[in-house]
């Protein structure tokens, strides 16, 4: 999972206005017509897809995948028509957020849609899942108190949530992070990894490929530095390691995890805030 700083300036005004108009029309619908109305307006949230993608350099906000052969969706973080709280427990969800762009997340198909993990045969994917912690208030149409809820699922737009998941430098698997202290945080991280499908085999393979390249570049850099005779090569490798850990790089969390495991110098080669590229136009 990657932290995504949402930037409304990247969304054309006409796209925002269509969503506002759809929201106004939804508010006027009788309760029995709301679901059908929302279903008829899928083009409204789909129009946000490419603009949301710019905010994450084309990467899925949950898995960090940028696979050009994958289908990407505009996911409703809080489900728009039905919210699954537990097995066999479901309610009407958050229809009033169907056209709220702040509820949209750019998601690769396998993080967003239900599918079977080929290795474990477990069903993964967000689907309509939106469990809440025990004791949480539950928002509804009449009481839109969603900001007071305590979700189980980690939100890629909340930096503290993102920090609860890390990548294991040994096996490339997503796991609870160093700051994931206490049973509640651990449960949130564990369930989010499961529901978002963050340990599907293809993701692990992609992360391990990135980490292997980082490890080889780091070792080459150390060897050249020890020989002390090729400064241009040193600079090229330093720049390559920085690029691998930029927010725009594929699976940059995995690249960072590998560098942080390569002590004592690895962390020094991670990209810094001043290296961050401009948001893609």
Quote the percentage of the chain above a pLDDT of 90.
85
Q: What is the pTM of this model?
A: 0.92
Mean pLDDT (whole number) for 247-252:
92
Q: pLDDT value at position 277? A: 59
Mean pLDDT (whole number) for 222-244:
89
How many CB atoms are closer than 10 A to CB 192?
Answer: 24
pLDDT band of residue 281 (cuts 50, 70, 90) is very low
* pLDDT reading at 133 higher than 80: yes
Over residues 135-194, the pLDDT tens digits come to: 999 999 999 999 999 999 999 999 999 999 999 999 999 999 988 999 999 999 999 999
Mean pLDDT (whole number) for 230-251:
90
d(CA 91, CA 79): 10
How many CB atoms are closer than 10 A to CB 74?
Answer: 22
Q: pLDDT value at position 279? A: 40
d(CA 117, CA 129): 17
Q: What is the Cα 264 distance to its own chain's centre?
A: 30
Q: pLDDT value at position 84? A: 96
How does strand 104-108 pair with strand 165-167? unpaired
Q: Which residue has the tokens 């796209």?
A: 15
Q: pLDDT value at position 230? A: 75
């Amino acid at each position: 999972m990657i932290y995504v700083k949402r930037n409304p300036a990247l969304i054309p005004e006409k796209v925002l206005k269509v969503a506002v108009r759809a929201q106004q029309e939804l508010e006027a619908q009788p309760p029995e017509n709301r679901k059908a109305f929302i279903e008829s307006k899928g083009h409204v949230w789909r129009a946000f897809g490419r603009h949301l993608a710019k905010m994450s350099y084309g990467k899925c906000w949950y898995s960090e995948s940028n696979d050009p052969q994958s289908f990407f969706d505009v996911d409703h973080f809080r489900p728009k028509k039905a919210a699954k709280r537990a097995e066999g427990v479901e309610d009407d969800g958050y229809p009033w957020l169907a056209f709220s762009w702040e509820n949209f997340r750019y998601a690769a198909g396998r993080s967003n849609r239900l599918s079977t993990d080929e290795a474990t045969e477990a069903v993964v994917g967000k689907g309509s899942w939106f469990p809440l912690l025990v004791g949480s208030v539950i928002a509804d149409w009449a009481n839109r108190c969603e900001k007071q809820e305590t979700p189980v699922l980690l939100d890629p737009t909340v930096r503290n949530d993102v920090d609860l998941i890390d990548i294991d430098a040994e096996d490339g698997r997503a796991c609870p992070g160093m700051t994931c202290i206490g049973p509640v945080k651990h449960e949130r991280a564990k369930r989010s990894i499961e529901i978002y499908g963050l340990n599907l085999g293809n993701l692990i393979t992609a992360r391990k490929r990135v980490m292997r390249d980082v490890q080889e570049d780091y070792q080459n850099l150390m060897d050249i530095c020890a020989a002390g005779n090729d400064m241009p090569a040193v600079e090229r490798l330093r720049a390559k390691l920085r690029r691998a850990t930029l927010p725009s790089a594929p699976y940059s969390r995995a690249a960072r995890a590998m560098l942080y495991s390569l002590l004592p110098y690895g962390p020094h080669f991670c990209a810094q805030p001043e290296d961050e590229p401009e948001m893609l136009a």
